Structure 1
Amino acid sequence: MSPTAKNATSPVTADDIDHAVGLSVETLRKAPATAWDGHAGSLEWTCWETVEHLAQALFSYATQLGPKTPPLDGKVPFVRAPRRPGSPANAIHADRETGPAGLLQVLEASGALVTAMVRTTPPETRAYHVYGISDPEGFAAMAVVETLVHTHDLAEGLALPWTPPADLCARVLTRLFPDAPTDTPPWPTLLWSTGRADLPGRPRPTKWRWQGAPKL
């Protein structure tokens, strides 16, 4: 059980982001230095690009909450651009000369930024996300989902074991996927909810999105 273990209806917190990113980095550090240019699971991106995308997502959630008046109609306008056709459009890139250790340090730093912003932003704050305006807990849950499922993609590409805590998966499902099945284990259900796995009797979704709107 994780150190942040709570029941499925407990809020998702800054500590959960910190825990998820820590577990991810701990797992990814076991990858061979020569493996990072292979594809990340079923994604078209390389493993290196996928970590950069994850770091970008965490950085973006932090910056959406950052302004004194957070934007409600679009992203904070950092320049985002792909480095090759088909690669993710990022403002965040790791220096290739620093190797995997530098890449994972970039991921840790982005995780720390969104953790700090969620921890210090008043809960009544609202900010834009492409799936709808959300609150700090919503951004925390999004950051955790991004971390868990992209680490799954990376673990597949890097041939590493990866099974995150069930209680953490259950709470982000409750927060972002309220219509997800509740009679199946949380981790497979989260993979199913994000189009990455089948569940018994339920075909894999071809389209999916979470519901980030604040709870009433």
Structure 2
Amino acid sequence: MKITPADVRLAADVALATLGRADGADWSAKAGSLDWDCWETAEHLIDDLFSYAAQLASERTDIDVPFRYTKETPGAPGNAVRAQREAGVQGLLVALDAAAGLLYAVTAVKPPEARAHHVFGVADPEGFAAMGVVETLVHTHDLASGLGIPGTWEPPADLCARTLHRLFPDVPADTPPWPTLLWATGRGELPGRPRRDKWRWYGEPR
């Protein structure tokens, strides 16, 4: 049930294959249920993957690496890295691919006993890989909804199940993995359970 560095790459590859079909879409549209537009959401995902790689590379367990985070517009996510607007959607996806590659590389070379700070618990390389997978899968869901990408975005069930096992010990184990991950992150409903308006994962090693 472990999450591996290869899972970071898998999540990014299936996300990029889906988002690559939205080159002509309106990236200023809202991303699903988020308050951010699709471009901002994609940049937030890029920034997440980059920041997780940097945090684990530092092995600081007491503080976040103090990058300078800025917002381009009120209400937008604060990011340390951004994609050049003039590079267009294809440039945005190259940046996403590169950020995923960084997290893959750092989690692959760090020993299992490495630890680094996260607000949801000091985590190991597997934990940071799992965080990157969650961010990639759920934000691709937000983007696919906002961009109106044809078809249904549904990542591999096994990947979702292993991610839930690593980061969400408080969720039901007898429901389908992808709907459960959406419910766990406040994006969906499960029969007999209220929609979550607050949520978190647990990054500490099990």
Short-chain TM bin: over 0.9
The correspondence for 1:186, drawn from 171, 177, 183, is 177
CA contact (8 A) 2:123 2:205 kept: yes
- Comparing both structures, which one devotes a greater share of its residues to helix? 2
Q: Give the Cα separation in 2 of the matches to 1:107 and 1:32.
A: 14
CA contact (8 A) 1:54 1:150 kept: yes
2:107 pairs with 1:118 = yes
Moved over 3 A (4+): none
Name 1:65's counterpart in structure 2.
56
C-alpha deviations, 1:76-108, integer Å up to 9, x for none?
A: 111111111000100111101010000000000
2:72 pairs with 1:83 = yes
The one-letter amino acid of 1:84's match is T
2:132 pairs with 1:156 = no
C-alpha deviations, 1:4-46, integer Å up to 9, x for none?
A: xxxxxx2100000000001101100101434111010011111
2:132 pairs with 1:143 = yes
The one-letter amino acid of 2:102's match is L
TM-score (norm 1): 0.93
**Aligned to 2:22, what secondary structure does the other structure show?**
coil
CA contact (8 A) 2:120 2:203 kept: yes
**Aligned to 1:180, what secondary structure does the other structure show?**
coil
CA contact (8 A) 2:23 2:90 kept: no
Q: Give the Cα separation in 1 of the matches to 2:69 and 2:125.
A: 23
Work out the number of aligned pairs and report it: 204
2:10 pairs with 1:19 = yes
**Aligned to 1:29, what secondary structure does the other structure show?**
helix
C-alpha deviations, 1:55-79, integer Å up to 9, x for none?
A: 0000000001112xx1111111111
C-alpha deviations, 1:155-177, integer Å up to 9, x for none?
A: 10011231000000000000000
Q: Give the Cα separation in 1 of the matches to 2:63 and 2:154.
A: 34
Q: Give the Cα separation in 2 of the matches to 1:183 and 1:123.
A: 29
Q: Give the Cα separation in 1 of the matches to 2:173 and 2:192.
A: 14
**Aligned to 1:73, what secondary structure does the other structure show?**
coil
CA contact (8 A) 1:33 1:99 kept: no
Name 1:5's counterpart in structure 2.
none
Aligned CA-pair RMSD: 0.8
The correspondence for 1:35, drawn from 2, 26, 31, is 26
CA contact (8 A) 1:57 1:146 kept: yes
CA contact (8 A) 1:149 1:191 kept: yes
Q: Give the Cα separation in 1 of the matches to 2:96 and 2:13.
A: 10
CA contact (8 A) 2:60 2:116 kept: yes
The one-letter amino acid of 2:155's match is P
Q: Give the Cα separation in 1 of the matches to 2:189 and 2:94.
A: 33
